[in-house]
Structure 1
Amino acid sequence: MRRKLFVGTSIVITLMMIAGVFFSLPYYVSKPGIAKELAPIIQVNGGSEGKGSFMLTTVRMGRANIYSYVEAKLFDYVELYPLEAILHETETQEEYNARQLHMMAGSKLNAIEVAYKNAGYPVEYEYKGVYVVQVVPDMPAEGKLQSGDRIIKVDGQKFASSENFIDYVGKKKAGDQIELSVIRKDKTKTEKITVQPFKEDPKKVGIGISLVDDKEIIVNPKVTVKTDEIGGPSAGLMFSLEIYDQLMEEDFTKGYKIAGTGTIDSEGTVGPIGGIDQKIVAADKAGAEIFFAPNEKGSKDSNYNLAVKTARDIDSKIKIVPVDVIDDAINYLQKLPMK
């Protein structure tokens, strides 16, 4: 009898442990990720190598299970977010992942453009089409297009930008049909879709997709940026600095481990990101000595101020440097003494 009770109890406990791992709660959980050196990720043909290193920083984010929920309640720098704080309305997990990867792709393009222009090199773009980021439920594209599709032609025409695509479709009348040439998983297919009014604005028509440009940057010397499955735009600043450093003869790392974060636009403006406190923890664990943080023009609630507070709270010796534009980081590095 005792043996049966023991076996039964063991089975119940095992099932509860399995449920704790695989049962998803209506939350996302984020925690400190890693600080990863950029030199192995970014290669400029003929680029120079520095004595130190630039590092991107990440947070780990995923759907919460019972264990991660408890972890977030017990430990610092582990945060819970309700689903609606992460996913757009009606957005699926697959669409969220696609959105993050496309934001990373856009971040890379901006970073390359900014780095090359700052180093005195010309930059050109080749427009290829648009990527589908999200399909709106109950609109004509549902069931015909999916997140990650690349639209290369509409009614046999190519366009110079996503704005031109939107203008063309928007001039159609409800009930008109358009023919799309779509690439999905390296295979080209044709989809005929009828435009209809948007529920939130019946005066406008469309097929019900959100999209981003698909374009290739043309630079010389060539640059390769391998980001694998890293998503989001927050590595833009550090991408730019690594590329710029490889393009220039001067060593801007000067022997230091330099981490940081922040979005970057095509003009070199550095924008704020989420989870900077967790990124400070990751950078500290990786031995970073300097950390570039978005200053947000001195805002009281800026990423920079939160980074300073976090470094103080965890007793880190990282030097936190505020940046509003990439020139702020470059100017700081130019004045930095060789280690």
Structure 2
Amino acid sequence: MNRKNVARLLLILLVLITISSFFYLPYYVSKPGMAQELEPIVDVTDADEANGSFMLTTIRMGKANIISYLMAKWSKYQEIYPESAIRTEDETDEEYNVRQLHLMDSSKTNAIKVAYEKAGKEFSLQYKGVYVLDVLEDMPASRLLQPGDQIIQVDQLKFGSSKEFMDYISSKKAGDKVHIVYKREETEKTGTITLQSFKDDPNRVGIGISLDDYKRILTKPPVSIDSEEIGGPSAGLMFTLEIYNQLTDGDLTGGYKIAGTGTMAEDGTVGPIGGISQKIVAADKSGAEIFFAPNEKGAKTSNYREALAAAKDIGTDMKIIPVDDFQDALDYLGQLKKK
């Protein structure tokens, strides 16, 4: 083959690769992300500095094109998921992002509550309204509300939980109108919505939103968490450890680089997450020496067992520590020999 034909073939391949990178498939691909130190992100007023560090771990998730799909097929620590496993039916990109950021906000609230409770510090929770996660296209709310809006009042009534809001709406009938006051970002707006029966359940009426509680936590001393655009609830445990470490005397890290993952419930329970094998890879690449993994009460398919298998496979010296709740992590750190 002469040079001209080779150049022509290479040009054709380049064009095909470029085109395929813009052709998206009904799948998502996840891969190892990063381990990020939390001390620069979490700020408790007048906190001491730590010699070591607590780190959150992430995975990178994106819509699959032809190239990323094929690469994931050949990569041991990349995973392919159908769209239905990542997004709910009819959920838009905007709604998915709103849901992930709200999960992160809820995770931070729980982390602050558990850390301040354990440290014996002052805090209070304020219910701020109903948080709109997504809006059904064929329901009346779609003409007024957007994901991320906060409903703060209905018919001059304020509620103490999203359940109270749902109970009030369900007490009405199709065709009734409700006047709502809501916030979009920092702007207060008003509107009227006519209730409608749900197609899949004609005996149930509503406005057509998926919702959650929107809470704000007030603390003394003040704390702030700058998580930027990181979404999801999986950093709950590590946020709790970093906040507690800054609230209390001494240094829980013992001078070690400590990564981990797991959701944080209001009662301190650590819950499982997805992609823990990829997080083991990310933590190892970042030089973590210890990794906390949800134990799920010793279940055979627990995050902890999956993390152990991944750690053995990549040959890391990182210690994998099982935890069922926040106290388990504190107990381990309490007996850790300091560097």
Decide: shared fold, TM above 0.5. yes
Partner of 2:230: 230
Give, as a single letter, the amino acid of the residue that structure 2 aligns with 1:296: E
Give, as a single letter, the amino acid of the residue that structure 1 aligns with 2:49: E
TM-score by length of 1: 0.96
Residue segments in structure 1 that go unaligned for 5+ positions in a row: none
Structure-to-structure mapping, 1:140-179, within 5 angstroms: 140-179=140-179
Partner of 1:207: 207
After TM superposition, the structure 1 stretch with the greater mean CA deviation from structure 2, 13-22 or 213-222, is: 13-22
Partner of 2:109: 109
SS in 1 for 2:140: coil
Q: What's the RMSD between the two structures over aligned residues?
A: 1.7
Partner of 2:324: 324
Give, as a single letter, the amino acid of the residue that structure 2 aligns with 1:270: V
Give, as a single letter, the amino acid of the residue that structure 1 aligns with 2:226: K
**Among the aligned pairs, what percent are the same residue?**
57
Higher strand share: 2
Structure-to-structure mapping, 1:1-339, within 5 angstroms: 12-339=12-339
Give, as a single letter, the amino acid of the residue that structure 1 aligns with 2:292: F
Deviation at 1:94, TM superposition (A): 1.2
After TM superposition, the structure 1 stretch with the greater mean CA deviation from structure 2, 291-300 or 158-167, is: 158-167
Summarize the Cα distance change of 1:4–1:335 in structure 2 as closer, same or farther, 3 Å threshold.
Answer: closer
Deviation at 1:253, TM superposition (A): 0.3
Q: Contact between 2:122 and 2:221, CA under 8 Å: does it hold in 1?
A: no
Looking at structure 2, the residues matched to 130 and 68 of structure 1 have their Cα atoms a distance apart, in angstroms, of 38
Deviation at 1:273, TM superposition (A): 0.3
TM-score by length of 2: 0.96
SS in 2 for 1:174: coil
After TM superposition, the structure 1 stretch with the greater mean CA deviation from structure 2, 126-135 or 38-47, is: 126-135
Looking at structure 1, the residues matched to 329 and 18 of structure 2 have their Cα atoms a distance apart, in angstroms, of 47
Q: Could you report, residue by residue, the CA deviation over 1:127-161 in whole angstroms, capped at 9, with x for unpaired residues?
A: 21122101123111123211111212112222111
Give, as a single letter, the amino acid of the residue that structure 2 aligns with 1:238: M
After TM superposition, the structure 1 stretch with the greater mean CA deviation from structure 2, 61-70 or 235-244, is: 61-70
After TM superposition, the structure 1 stretch with the greater mean CA deviation from structure 2, 115-124 or 286-295, is: 115-124
Looking at structure 2, the residues matched to 3 and 324 of structure 1 have their Cα atoms a distance apart, in angstroms, of 64
Looking at structure 1, the residues matched to 53 and 226 of structure 2 have their Cα atoms a distance apart, in angstroms, of 17
Give, as a single letter, the amino acid of the residue that structure 2 aligns with 1:143: R
Q: Contact between 2:111 and 2:240, CA under 8 Å: does it hold in 1?
A: yes
SS in 1 for 2:18: helix
Q: Contact between 2:43 and 2:223, CA under 8 Å: does it hold in 1?
A: yes
Deviation at 1:294, TM superposition (A): 0.2
Looking at structure 2, the residues matched to 22 and 314 of structure 1 have their Cα atoms a distance apart, in angstroms, of 33
Q: Could you report, residue by residue, the CA deviation over 1:176-229 in whole angstroms, capped at 9, with x for unpaired residues?
A: 001111222432222211111222322221101011222210110000001100
Residue segments in structure 2 that go unaligned for 5+ positions in a row: none
Looking at structure 1, the residues matched to 169 and 11 of structure 2 have their Cα atoms a distance apart, in angstroms, of 59
Give, as a single letter, the amino acid of the residue that structure 2 aligns with 1:70: L
Summarize the Cα distance change of 1:7–1:319 in structure 2 as closer, same or farther, 3 Å threshold.
Answer: closer
Give, as a single letter, the amino acid of the residue that structure 2 aligns with 1:198: F
Give, as a single letter, the amino acid of the residue that structure 2 aligns with 1:305: R
Deviation at 1:39, TM superposition (A): 0.2
Give, as a single letter, the amino acid of the residue that structure 2 aligns with 1:230: I
Looking at structure 2, the residues matched to 313 and 244 of structure 1 have their Cα atoms a distance apart, in angstroms, of 33
SS in 2 for 1:110: helix
Looking at structure 2, the residues matched to 18 and 34 of structure 1 have their Cα atoms a distance apart, in angstroms, of 27
Deviation at 1:18, TM superposition (A): 2.2
Looking at structure 2, the residues matched to 8 and 321 of structure 1 have their Cα atoms a distance apart, in angstroms, of 56
Summarize the Cα distance change of 1:141–1:3 in structure 2 as closer, same or farther, 3 Å threshold.
Answer: farther
Give, as a single letter, the amino acid of the residue that structure 1 aligns with 2:86: I
Deviation at 1:266, TM superposition (A): 0.5
Deviation at 1:56, TM superposition (A): 0.2
Give, as a single letter, the amino acid of the residue that structure 1 aligns with 2:60: R
Looking at structure 1, the residues matched to 302 and 189 of structure 2 have their Cα atoms a distance apart, in angstroms, of 47
